[in-house]
Amino acid sequence: MNSYIGHFIAGEPYVESNTRSGPVYNPSTGEEISRCAYASRDTVEKAVATAKSASEVWGKTSHAKRLAVMFKFRELVIANMDSLAEVIGREHGKTIPDALGEIGRGIESIEFACNEPHITKGEYSNNVAGDIDVFSIRRPIGAVGCITPFNFPVMVPVVMFAMAVAVGNSVVWKPSEKVPSAALEIARLWKEAGLPDGVFNVVQGDKEVVDTILEHPDIAGVSFVGSTAVGEYVYQKGTSNNKRVAAFTGGKNHMVVMPDADLEAAATAFVTAGYGSASQRCMAVSLLLPVGDETADRLLELIVPKIKALKVGPYNDPKADFGALISSESKMAVERAIDRCEQEGGKLVLDGRGFSVEDHPNGYYLGPTLFDHVSTDMQMYKEEVFGPVRGIIRAKSYEEALKITNRHDYGNGSVIYTRDGKAAHRFMMEVESGMIGVNVPVPLPTSYFNFGGLRESKFGEGHLYGPDAARFYTKYKTVSQRWPEHDNMISSSSLAFNPIA
């Protein structure tokens, strides 16, 4: 009998009677392995009320006590990496090494959040006029909502709520209903770390849960990662309900390769950054832009054997380079994208359709696929393909490659491979992307730098992690203060409207 995955509210597992639910699959085998509860509006409101009450106490807790919990949480996540990776692999389909890498990046964000007292220090000016001192303080905003995607069941939520909790907020987390189990494991670790009950809550579900979070007056801020269409909806609905919202959405990341580049390194980078995790990540390299036909032809000779050597298999196969797609629907959507690119004139170099894994005939597998001669009027250029399908757009010059990159609706990440420092500097200054790689295939910043794209890759002014995350989860207060000598206290009869007299 399949297990039933419920919620976590007020420090305890919470199961709602007579609720809706949905299936959870093992993508490696295609079998249903559990049922995920879909919270009703009443359950979400219970979680928000719990978080609101807990935030009022947690927000007043000293930095020292909050950090003691954060350090303990870090230790517990490290101690439970293997079991968390198993949960991720079983429900997502990514390989165990990939899952461990994801958790490692989450741990980096926990470590950065432990610097919260330094990041949130205010400003101070002495005696601006009339013995008045002016200073600023940062305070937590209250209860916050975190809405996270399937492709990073641990890393993305951790980088959201590690800082949110560290600065004194409480959390209501809505994970993807496709990968719900990791959320309960994380909730258990928070409780074991000593986080007060109610500060961290999990509500499983679908759009009804999202809408309740976005509409609830006691949710002060919402952080989201997911598709562009849903992210824009979250941003518009959340801000219309007077919440601060940061929504991180799609990416179509371009990799420009100049003729002078180390082509062997560029080819390896494109294959690893393009096809890792079955390309189900917003920072994957989507399109390769070699400058000049000679560069493109030489790269193609290097790339094709490397792609053919990739091994696709179940999440627990230690030899697999990447695993299955998240669902049969996702697999079919990617196959339709391949069909469409063929119809529009793309040259199919490698075809991953019809791929199967021995002993796993029902798994959601797709082999690595590559198109050459993609053009900017094709869907393969315009839309994000969340699967192992990559394309090559041949650019005649650096200027054309830059134009192709900048005219795209998305501006998440962009990469250049070159030995020319001037070309690299021009690219850094001229490309319109939030994260840029120079001879680095995945320009994912380390945890103490801000993460976020441009254009339709991000809605709102916040960043997912880095120093700006602390700003997103706190509010400024500026205090003007004067303490006159006792004998010179201003009497009520001598009050003036000039505050600095």
Identity of the residue numbered 355: F
Cα separation, 7 vs 14, whole angstroms: 5
Q: What global pTM score does this model have?
A: 0.93
Question: Which residues of the chain form CATH 3.40.605.10?
Answer: 7-27+36-80+103-249+457-479
* Contact yes or no for 52/142 (Cβ under 8 A): yes
**Is 114 a catalytic site residue?**
no
Question: Which residues of the chain form CATH 3.40.309.10?
Answer: 253-438
User: What tens digit of pLDDT does each residue of 415-433 get?
Assistant: 999 999 999 999 999 999 9
| CATH code, 253-438 | 3.40.309.10
User: What tens digit of pLDDT does each residue of 441-497 get?
Assistant: 988 888 778 788 878 888 888 888 888 899 999 999 999 999 988 766 555 445 455
Cα dihedral across residues 413, 419, 424, 425: positive or negative = positive
SS (H, E, C) 348-382: EEECCCCCCECCECCCCCCCCEEEECCCCCCHHHH
User: What tens digit of pLDDT does each residue of 39-76 get?
Assistant: 999 999 999 999 999 999 999 999 999 999 999 999 99
Identity of the residue numbered 57: V
Mean pLDDT of the chain: 94
| CATH code, 7-27+36-80+103-249+457-479 | 3.40.605.10
List the catalytic residue out of 36, 146, 282, 341.
Answer: 282
User: What tens digit of pLDDT does each residue of 485-496 get?
Assistant: 876 655 544 545
Return the number of other C-beta atoms located less than 10 Å from residue 165's C-beta.
26
| 408 DSSP 8-state letter | S
- The residue assigned the tokens 């008045």 is 132
User: What's the confidence (pLDDT) of residue 499?
Assistant: 52
